[in-house]
Amino acid sequence: MNMSNDPFPQQLPTLQRLGVQDPTAISAADAATVWFEEFSSAVASSNIAGILDLFLDDGFWKDILALTWDLRTVEGRDAIKNLLDNRLIPTGLVDLRLSHEALRAPEIQRLFPDLVLLRLCFEFGTKVGKGTAVCYLAPVPGSKWKAYSLFTCLESLNDFPEQIGSLRKRTIEHGTWEEGRRQEVELVNGDPTVIVIGAGHTGLEIAARLKYIGIPHLAVDKNARVGDSWRHRYKALCLHDTVWYNQTPYLQFPPTWPVYSPATKLAGWLEGYASYLELNVWTSFTVTKAEWNDENKTWTVEIDREGKETRVLEVKHLVFATGFRGRPTMPDLPGNSGFKGEIVHSAQFTSAENYIGKKAVVVGACNSGHDVAQDFFNHGVDITMYQRSSTFVVSATAAAELFGAYFKDGFPTDLADIYSSSLPNAVLRRINQRTVPYTAQTTDKAILDGLAKVGFKTNLGAYGAGVIPALYERSGGFYMDTGTSQHIINGDIKIKSGGSIERLTETGLKFADGSELEADIVVFATGYGDPRDSMRAICGPEVADKVLPIWSMDGEGESSGVWRNCGHDGLWFGVGNLALSRFHSLHLAMQIAAIEAGMFKRSEVTF
């Protein structure tokens, strides 16, 4: 895999590069304490030069809200100095306390034979809240350690504590649910502060975070029932991530829950989640229009209920939680009108049970394409998958090794979120450029070799780094194997790879190389458009033209426009799988709370 276009080509701090011998014989606790005491002293005296001396020249500082009120990663001495010059004193870092409890205690980590880091955790306070930090130290000559990466994450606001534990309410809110279905909840004390568009897993998690820090909210969903966004997908759909990775905030899956949840089971969970947490959700409502008043900094939002009535609300913040996807992408092929079979996008596909005895072709070879092909095979349908370009394939076992080390039975989910987010994406990319090829030659070798023999083309992901760049930059391009690969290897699912589709014929697909595939149904698992599509339709072009690209990486390796300022006041996007939404929903809610309380203005924290 050519890495020459990698936008984050920095080197890892290997022992050879740093000029040191194996340091693992030292006491992690002692080394961490020495560094931490020097760091704490420098912070207390606002000694920026002293802080910088504790970092490698090419070190990182990753921050979520604590110093920047944003999701930022700065790299190198000059960038860290700029951050501290502008934000150390206004932030008011105080009460730094090194953690020694078992799962947070200082620990030597040998990531590779030539890469050794010392991880330490500490808690801190700021003028407005409390947070957690994770630091990775690298050994340097003279038996010393310096910070390679420091992660600071604000976890709570003093004025908006989460209403959980000892702060929970002593009474419940009656009368919001009836017969298992959300009824329209009349708003109390006027309009909400926030409207969340979409009540899928992301919308509900955002609503829950807003509720439990005391921000009036309303989630609106066009579907008749909470969970329909999963319930109406193809019946064979199962999550490709484990139950430990997909936990929901405040309410965790029971220990009986399957490791890989069926979509219909998740739909029921989400409906119960909204009920048990008594979230304000209006179903069968569609947001049709939102107009921004720049003088008052408010949205006037029109909400239609199945064409029967229109409600108009005035709110401060509008959150789009409508998913990774824009509109389904369908190629416009010659011969569409003459094809005698059925053509659907995977978004509209429900089940293969109606096609028994027929021939099917799935166009696309990523997660959805594999799931649909597997469903056809399960129903005994003659199925061929057309692979347009190579796919990054990783087994569920290898994925757990690569990306889910902390998400396992018995490990606290909140700490797993912190650890899994603690290294900058630029660093994770370099680590994965080593681990992904290794896994391909070990854990997944049999699968990948078998796929190659039947003509299925694989790759190692963009920049040779596996899922992370594919997820953040394309929201696709990979398949996390839960069993379909073996059916491809066995020939149960046939493969047509390479070339291009020339046209549809009466009986199937004709390719540029002259070959043809007969089909009674063609399912296009060809992805989706820009996730800003729904926002543009609701908010209009004047607003949409100010919004940054959604679900892509900026120059710092952070998601641009998601869970953070998107370029327009009062407008937010929540996009992610269950784990990302669980973690970042709190950060989005805290930003809204802080803005409403006047804790910060965007113009005051730019640097």
pLDDT digits (tens, 9 = 90+) for 385-432: 999 999 999 998 888 777 678 999 999 999 999 999 999 999 999 999
Q: Which backbone phi and psi does 58 adopt, to 5 degrees?
A: -110, 30
Helix 425-441 and helix 445-453, axial crossing angle in degrees, nearest 10: 70
Beta bridge partners of 291: 300
Whether 11 has a pLDDT exceeding 90, the answer reads no
Nearest-angstrom CA–CA distance, 422 and 451:
35
CATH number for the region 189-325+533-604 comes to 3.50.50.60
Does 381 score more than 70 pLDDT? yes
Rounded distance between C-alpha atoms, residue 373 and residue 382, angstroms: 10
Q: What is the DSSP letter of 112?
A: E
pLDDT, position 402: 73
Query: Per-domain residue ranges for the chain?
Result: 15-157, 189-325+533-604, 330-528
pLDDT at position 565 over 70: yes
Q: How confident is the model at residue 30 (pLDDT cuts 50, 70, 90)?
A: very high
Mean pLDDT of the chain: 91
Architecture, CATH, for domain 15-157: Roll (3.10)
CA separation for the pair 302, 295 (Å, rounded): 19
- Using alpha carbons only, what angle is made at residue 344 by residues 340 and 349, rounded to the nearest 5 degrees? 130
Domains 189-325+533-604 and 330-528 share a fold: yes
What is d(CA 184, CA 414) in angstroms, rounded to the nearest whole number?
33
Percent of the chain with pLDDT over 90: 76
The Cα–Cα gap between 383 and 360 comes to 5
Task: Report the pLDDT value the prediction gives residue 183, as an integer from 0 to 100.
Answer: 39
CATH class of 330-528: alpha beta
Average pLDDT over residues 227-252: 90
* pLDDT score at 8: 58
What's the whole-number mean pLDDT along residues 247-272?
95
